[in-house]
Amino acid sequence: MFDFLKKLFASSNGNGKEGKQEQSETEKNHQQMNFLIVGLGNIGNEYAQTRHNIGFRVLDALAKASNLVFEDKRYGAVTTLKVKNQTLTLLKPSTYMNLSGNAVRYWMNEKKIPLENILVVVDDLSLPFGQLRMRPGGSEAGHNGLKHISSVLGTQQYARLRFGIGNDFPRGGQVDFVLGEFTDEDLKTMDERLELAGEMVKSFALSGIQFTMNHFNKK
C-alpha cells in the first residue's frame, strides 16, 4: 500500500543543500527519542464519528494496526507505540477540545518531551476531505483546540498534521458541519487516508518534519 520504509531510506540519496538537510535530520532521528502524538477530538459516543474527531480516529487506526489498546489515564487515553528505536506516546485528550492544552502540557512534562517532538493531529476545514498537510507551526485558523494548546504552551511553533474534512456547508453552518458525520462518499476512502496519516506520523518520528513535508504533503 504505502511503502514507508522504502521512501524513508531512499531519501538519504538526495543531492545538494536540501538533500544534506534531510539526511542530517534523518541521522539525528536515529537517536532514541520520545515523541508526543496528540489526536484532537471530544470524548463521548455522540462525538465519536464526527468530523471534529478525526484526530482521535487517526490515532485509533495507528494503534489498531499495531494491536495497541488505549488506557484511561490523567487528562486522556494513552498508549505507547514503538517505531524502530523511537517511542511515541499517543494521546487522545479527555479534556474536550477547548481545553486540549492542559493534556498536552501534562504529558509533555510527564514524559519529558521537548516542543520539537510534539505533533498534533487536527481536522482542517480549509482542505478537501482526505488531504493531508504537515506544518511546523503557524496560525490556528480558528481551531479552538489549537488555540488552547498555543495559549498553554506560549507558542504557535509546534508541528501539526492537518487532515482535511472539507467545507461543504451553508453560511452559518460551520458548527453543525464539524460536529456532523462523514458522508458515505468520504467513508469510501477513509481507511486509505487514515493509513497514510499514520505513515506520516511514523515518518515525523523517524525522519523529521522536513522529510515528511517534502515526501507526503502532495499525496
- Does residue 97 lie in a domain region? yes
CA 62 to chain centre: 11
55 grid coordinates: 484526530
Q: Write the pLDDT tens digit of every residue in 138-185.
A: 988 889 999 999 999 999 999 999 999 998 887 888 888 989 999 999
Its domain, for residue 157, covers 34-216
Q: Provide the whole-model pTM.
A: 0.85
- Beginning with the edge strand found earlier in the chain, give each strand of the sheet holding 86-93 in spatial order: 71-73, 76-83, 86-93, 34-39, 118-124, 159-164, 132-135
State how many domains the chain has.
1
pLDDT tens, residue by residue, 63-98? 999 999 999 999 999 999 999 999 999 999 999 999
Specify if 198 maps to a domain: yes
53, 58, 74, 81, 194 from 65: Cα distances, Å: 19, 11, 24, 10, 11
Q: What is the CATH number of the domain that holds 166?
A: 3.40.50.1470
> Is residue 1 predicted with pLDDT exceeding 80?
no
Positions annotated as catalytic residues are 52
